[in-house]
């Protein structure tokens, strides 16, 4: 307890006396974490876009004309019971025609030229994003094809499989990059703390020769590393938050339209806490290494 209080008091005095040098260290650590935080924010948002795309993955189940209501209801019930199904919407023949006319106004003539409504009624089945492109979907579509009242089942499997692959790859790449950035940030923090404290290594030797216990010698260095790292990470989170606010205000509307997500999303609380915690942890670890005595 005394040693801990001592360590904090000493570390604080030391940082205060180091002045500009300490500021440079904190700034550098902040830069490392800003990079990491910025990337995490970007990838959180990209992830949301991809989720949204996958969410809109649909299986269209075309129905035969003049289907009795009870068959239709049974089919709908069956669909809703599937675990991989998120939502089911019924599209009547009339609605299908209206949609076609809206989507292809230049083919208005075609639609009106046809004696009767050629569009079949359909169930549009939205799948759970995590299942889209997976093997269960094949099973579902195969099962539906033979069913009573079903004319055709369409599922753009190729496109979705590709998208799923891309998403998986992107997730993997993002994880790898995040890992590398995390390592990089950690390395930078460690290097900066080490360089900051390296100059004061002579002090450690002197303290040892005076018979100071390790807790007294290393404590202040570890706490100093902890404070430098933590301060850097906190500065970084603040900067990323500011950047987010600015981006949301100026770019938000444009981006939101494109990415189809109502709003940019800030780093989750969890990410922010992990970043700050990481700053403290890496700083303390670097302080520990830097204060390892020569002997």
Work out whether 214 is an interface residue with other proteins (CB under 8 A): yes
Q: Which is nearer to a second copy, 38 or 149 (CB)?
A: 38
User: How near is the Cβ of 4 to other proteins at its closest, in Å?
Assistant: 14
3-state secondary structure at position 119:
coil
> What's the rounded Cα separation, in Å, for the pair 37 and 266?
10
Beta strands, E only, 143-218: 150-154
User: How near is the Cβ of 282 to a second copy at its closest, in Å?
Assistant: 13
**Phi and psi dihedrals of 162, rounded to 5?**
-65, -45
Work out whether 212 is an interface residue with other proteins (CB under 8 A): yes
Among 134, 194, 265, 274, binds a second copy (CB under 8 A): 194
Using CA atoms in the order 186, 190, 191, 195, what is the torsion angle rounded to 10 degrees?
160
> What's the rounded Cα separation, in Å, for the pair 77 and 71?
10
Q: Per-residue string for binding with a second copy, 231-260, x by CB under 8 A?
A: ----------------x---x--xx-xx--
3-state secondary structure at position 153:
strand
Work out whether 103 is an interface residue with a second copy (CB under 8 A): no
User: How near is the Cβ of 25 to a second copy at its closest, in Å?
Assistant: 7
Among 102, 210, 269, 294, binds other proteins (CB under 8 A): 210
User: How near is the Cβ of 20 to other proteins at its closest, in Å?
Assistant: 15
The interface region with other proteins, picked from 46-54, 185-193, 204-212, 225-233 by CB under 8 A, is 204-212
Work out whether 106 is an interface residue with a second copy (CB under 8 A): yes
> What's the rounded Cα separation, in Å, for the pair 44 and 267?
7
> What's the rounded Cα separation, in Å, for the pair 232 and 28?
7
Work out whether 187 is an interface residue with a second copy (CB under 8 A): yes
Work out whether 195 is an interface residue with other proteins (CB under 8 A): no
Q: Write b or e for each residue in 92-123: b if 16 or more Cβ atoms lie within 10 A of its Cβ, otherwise e.
A: ebeebeeebeeeeeeeeeebeeeeebebbbbb
> What's the rounded Cα separation, in Å, for the pair 194 and 204?
14
Work out whether 2 is an interface residue with other proteins (CB under 8 A): yes
Q: Which is nearer to a second copy, 128 or 194 (CB)?
A: 194
| Count of residues that bind a second copy according to CB under 8 A | 50
Work out whether 143 is an interface residue with a second copy (CB under 8 A): no
64 binds, among a second copy, other proteins, none (CB under 5 to 8 A by kind): none
24 binds, among other proteins, a second copy, none (CB under 5 to 8 A by kind): a second copy
CA angle at 188 for the pair 184 and 192, rounded to the nearest 5°: 175
Alpha-carbon distance values, 275 to 7, 32, 87 (Å): 24, 11, 37
Q: Which is nearer to a second copy, 38 or 84 (CB)?
A: 38
109 binds, among a second copy, other proteins, none (CB under 5 to 8 A by kind): a second copy
Alpha-carbon distance values, 278 to 6, 162, 173, 182, 230 (Å): 24, 36, 21, 9, 8
Q: Which is nearer to other proteins, 113 or 210 (CB)?
A: 210
Work out whether 31 is an interface residue with a second copy (CB under 8 A): yes
Residues that bind other proteins (CB under 8 A): 2, 6, 14, 17, 200, 203, 206-214, 216
């Amino acid at each position: 307890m005394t040693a801990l209080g001592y360590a904090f008091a000493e570390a604080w005095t030391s940082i205060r006396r180091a002045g500009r040098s300490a500021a440079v260290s904190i700034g550098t650590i902040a830069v490392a974490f800003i990079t990491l935080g910025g990337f995490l924010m970007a990838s959180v948002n990209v992830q949301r876009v991809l989720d949204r795309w996958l969410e809109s993955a649909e299986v269209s189940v075309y129905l035969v004309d003049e289907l009795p209501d009870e068959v239709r209801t049974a089919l709908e019930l069956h669909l809703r019971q599937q675990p991989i199904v998120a939502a089911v919407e019924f599209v009547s023949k009339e609605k299908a025609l209206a949609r076609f006319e809206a989507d292809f106004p230049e083919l208005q003539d075609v639609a009106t030229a046809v004696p009767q409504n050629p569009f079949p009624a359909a169930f549009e089945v939205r799948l759970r994003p995590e299942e889209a492109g997976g093997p269960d979907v094949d099973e579902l579509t195969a099962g539906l094809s033979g069913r009573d009242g079903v004319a055709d089942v369409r599922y753009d499997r190729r496109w979705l499989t590709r998208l799923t692959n891309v998403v998986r790859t992107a997730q993997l790449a993002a994880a790898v990059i995040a890992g590398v950035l995390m390592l990089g940030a950690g390395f930078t923090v460690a290097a900066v703390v080490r360089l900051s404290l390296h100059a004061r290594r002579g002090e450690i030797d002197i303290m040892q020769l005076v018979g100071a216990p390790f807790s007294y010698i290393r404590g202040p260095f570890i706490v100093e590393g902890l404070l430098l790292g933590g301060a850097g990470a906190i500065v970084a989170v603040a900067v990323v938050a500011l950047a987010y606010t600015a981006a949301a205000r100026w770019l938000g509307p444009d981006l939101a339209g494109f990415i189809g997500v109502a709003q940019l999303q800030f780093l989750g609380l969890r990410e922010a806490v992990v970043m700050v915690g990481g700053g403290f942890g890496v700083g303390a670890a670097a302080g520990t290494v830097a204060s390892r005595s020569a002997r």
